[in-house]
Structure 1
Amino acid sequence: MRPVVLAFVLLIQLVRASPASDLLQQAIGELRTHYYGYSVVDWDALAEQSGRELAQACTGQPQCGVEEAARIIARLVRNIGDGHTFYLSRERYQQILARFAGKPDSRPVYGITIPAYADGRVLISEVLPQSAADLAGVRPYDRVEAVNGMPLTGLEDFRARINTDQPVRLTLLRGEERLQLTLSRQPYSLPVLPTLYAPGGLPEGVLVLRIPDFAVYQQIGPRVHQLVLEAQARGARALIVDLRDNSGGEETECSSAPGAFVGNFALEMRTKSVAVPFGYADGAVLGNDPKDPNPPYRLNQAARFTGQVAVLVSPGTASCGEIMAYVLQQFGGIKVIGQRTAGVMNTATEFWPLADGSAIAITYIRTFKANGEALPAFVTPDVEMAYEPEAIARTGRDAMLEKALEVMGIR
């Protein structure tokens, strides 16, 4: 009997037919069929060990439920040791699908991200365009020191104070300037999109292009080109592309967006059975993930920035975020500032749904240079520098932005 068959027979013998055993068999089958990452996996041993674990977990249960299998699947996927291969609960899978579809969140929100607190100040790192915070005048890297006139004691204190449908008055620091802004949370109907802004204290003509992720098809890349055109219309002489903690997204978006800075470039994606182009040429996206139903597209209006550019990354910059930084660095000679990135640049992932509504993200693409050489896993910055949100909250100074100015020779 072939080893693969024997492994599954063993699993079935150890755990009588049940929703749990069915789910575990499905998960292992999907992984065995589609995984194309760089981790070396003995699938037969994995199936046998997982079957034994499920048998032990189900001992004494007349009908073993899928929750037992889900715990084992999550652990076995984690043990593969591949950052692009992971388990998603039913709830998390639905959240991810909604994010990639750009579906609005029906809950009222302010539209801010708050990563750090220090010395009585909460740092706002992200402001969603057209959100309640944006419309009230809040900007990325503003620091909140009071809500309704009362000082803050931490992130949880801040969250509790603004957890209301009544208007809240924020006392903000923007550089050395102190501001009072009033806002009320509102339902947000737009996808998470890039923003263009001028932080306090930057020289005239220097703007920051913040790209939080590349999740929404045919939205992020075109938006980047639109904002670059806007920057040029505003007379920008330099752009700082902020990819810190950018978690990735759609391949079409991280192939179209770099074109606004480097023009044409070409890479290649390969599955076990097919190779497809991955790049940008004269305003058009070249190829896409073979499993993705969304086709490549052409931009209505492509941009090409000719001023100075620097890129900011962090250990949380992953996947498509890494691709963007790498292309700007390698094809455009643009300096990257920060720390080594997450380390999943040389692969891509796709979701395979399971019978209980959960899913497994499986690494099924490897990414290569045009000459056939595999891409590195990480982006290695030209200038090593830590991203320290707590220090920004404390001092109001973003040392990475300051370093970007220095690298570009701007005073």
Structure 2
Amino acid sequence: MLILAALMLGACQAAEPLKLPENAEIDAAAAGALAVDALSAQIAERHDRYAIYYTPEEYAELFRSVSGSYSGIGVYIYPDEAGRAMVYGVMKGGPAYEAGVLPGDVFLRLNGDDLSSLTYDEVADSLLGFVAGTQLELTFLRPDDGEVVIKLKTAKVEIPTVESVMLDDEVGLIKISSFNMTTGEQFTTAYNDLAEQGMQGLILDLRDNGGGEINSALQVCNYFVPDGEPMMYITDSDGVYYYTSNRAATDLPVVILQNGHTASASEVVIGAAHDCGMATLIGETTYGKGIVQDLQQLDSGAGLRFTSAKYSTAHKNDIHGVGIVPDIVFPMPEDADNLAAYTMEPEQDTQLAKAVAVLAEKMVAKSNENQTN
């Protein structure tokens, strides 16, 4: 951090000295922290187009999302048509789920304090900061039922990033929305669950997945790269090194869905699976973010995200600024461009339908190969 600070000081232009009124009182610690923040933000903006400065509040929220868990009640909050904070999703197994909170419930009060005049962001913030085990009393307005009072205790809530389902008796679908510190474990659970249900082919949906925690992405890569083979290469100030798979790859036919919002850690998975010949790619060219970033918390509680290295795929392909072109280019219809892949109804999802058809052909080919052998 001292080296970084020296670099920042050398890179910043001289500024006019700050003039304060006589007898002005300042908090020296706070002023020093703000100065470091300002320098950090300036060096980031000048030398790293992907660097981001976070306020203390933003950094805390980012860390919660990356860590994969937080202490809370386990709900997704979004404004309803009137702008009120409404529950639009409940995390299965969380305190709210167990206590009977339902999608559509509108927040009215928390421990007797009025919430109805707050924005949905403010309501979400009011539910954070409680240690696990804290007793809360929530009052909701429920359609058709009026006011509903629910008592529950906060708990450690795992943030789900993986969804899975059997599309039929043989085809499994795993959707990864982002990569946090628990995504690798979630993927393993989902994969094993589908395997127990008789999965014979897998569709991995990485559309709109902007990346995240790299170690979880590598855990997923293990399923698509033969044991001991390289999964990705890293180039940083110390040189070049690589990560290898530590388990046997799946023997199932695999199709991966991707689009222009598929980036970073998602591209690590796609690059590894495709370079090793383990997957057919369908959709659109990925974003092309071939860099590794670190998070650094500053003394003020604020934080920086900055580029620390570049990566290339298992076959040393540099995808930065280029992306990964699918084997089968299959864009969504123009009238569906405004629909995120994770919110549209299955019958609208023409890319998924194409993936099912291609996977069926791969499964038949594998079956014929097994019979020949």
Work out which of the residue numbers 244, 251, 254 in structure 2 matches 1:306: 251
Cα-to-partner distance string for 1:79-99 (whole Å, 9 max, x where unaligned): 54533x221222222233333
Offset at residue 348 of structure 1 (A)? 0.6
Cα-to-partner distance string for 1:252-295 (whole Å, 9 max, x where unaligned): 22112122233333132232024432231336xxxxxxxxxxxx
CA distance in 2, matches of 1:243, 1:116: 28
Cα separation, partners in 2 of 1:366 and 1:391, compared to 1, 3 Å: closer
Partner of 2:306: 362
CA distance in 2, matches of 1:343, 1:31: 32
Partner of 2:159: 192
CA distance in 2, matches of 1:241, 1:206: 11
Contact persistence 1:310–1:336 (CA under 8 A): yes
**Aligned letter for 2:326?**
P
Q: What pairs up with 1:10-89 in 2 under 5 angstroms?
A: 29-30=4-5, 32=7, 46-48=11-13, 51-52=14-15, 55=16, 58=18, 65=31, 67=34, 70=37, 73-74=40-41, 77-80=44-47, 82-83=49-50, 85-89=51-55
Contact persistence 2:74–2:91 (CA under 8 A): no
Cα-to-partner distance string for 1:365-391 (whole Å, 9 max, x where unaligned): 122356666454423333242464269
CA distance in 2, matches of 1:379, 1:30: 36
Partner of 1:91: 57
Partner of 1:331: 276
Question: For structure 1, which segment, 254-263 or 363-372, has the greater mean C-alpha deviation from structure 2 after superposition?
Answer: 363-372
The reply to whether residue 232 of structure 1 matches residue 195 of structure 2 is yes
Question: For structure 1, which segment, 355-364 or 311-320, has the greater mean C-alpha deviation from structure 2 after superposition?
Answer: 311-320
Contact persistence 1:316–1:342 (CA under 8 A): yes
SS in 1 for 2:211: coil
Offset at residue 197 of structure 1 (A)? 3.0
Offset at residue 234 of structure 1 (A)? 0.2
Partner of 2:210: 247
CA distance in 1, matches of 2:161, 2:283: 20
SS in 1 for 2:271: helix
Contact persistence 2:267–2:286 (CA under 8 A): yes
CA distance in 1, matches of 2:98, 2:226: 33
CA distance in 2, matches of 1:230, 1:342: 31
> How many corresponding residue pairs?
311
Work out which of the residue numbers 204, 226, 244 in structure 1 matches 2:169: 204
CA distance in 1, matches of 2:79, 2:224: 29
Contact persistence 2:164–2:172 (CA under 8 A): yes
Contact persistence 1:99–1:191 (CA under 8 A): no
Partner of 1:180: none
Cα-to-partner distance string for 1:138-197 (whole Å, 9 max, x where unaligned): 9xxxxx9x879xxxxxxxxxx79x9994577789xxxxxxxxxxx999846233244343
CA distance in 2, matches of 1:262, 1:250: 19
**RMSD between aligned alpha carbons?**
4.5
TM-score (ref. length: structure 2): 0.64
Cα separation, partners in 2 of 1:166 and 1:402, compared to 1, 3 Å: farther
Partner of 1:341: 286
Contact persistence 1:28–1:47 (CA under 8 A): no
Partner of 1:5: none
Offset at residue 240 of structure 1 (A)? 1.9
Higher relative contact order (CA 8 A, sep 6+): 1
CA distance in 2, matches of 1:185, 1:402: 42
Question: What are structure 1's unaligned runs of at least 5 residues?
Answer: 1-25, 34-42, 139-143, 149-158, 172-182, 284-303
CA distance in 1, matches of 2:221, 2:282: 17
CA distance in 2, matches of 1:332, 1:29: 41
Contact persistence 1:27–1:360 (CA under 8 A): no
**Aligned letter for 1:385?**
P
CA distance in 2, matches of 1:225, 1:276: 26
Question: What are structure 2's unaligned runs of at least 5 residues?
Answer: 107-119, 125-136, 145-149, 364-373
CA distance in 1, matches of 2:341, 2:296: 40
Contact persistence 2:284–2:325 (CA under 8 A): yes
Cα separation, partners in 2 of 1:229 and 1:170, compared to 1, 3 Å: farther
Question: What percentage of residue pairs aligned between the two structures are identical?
Answer: 18
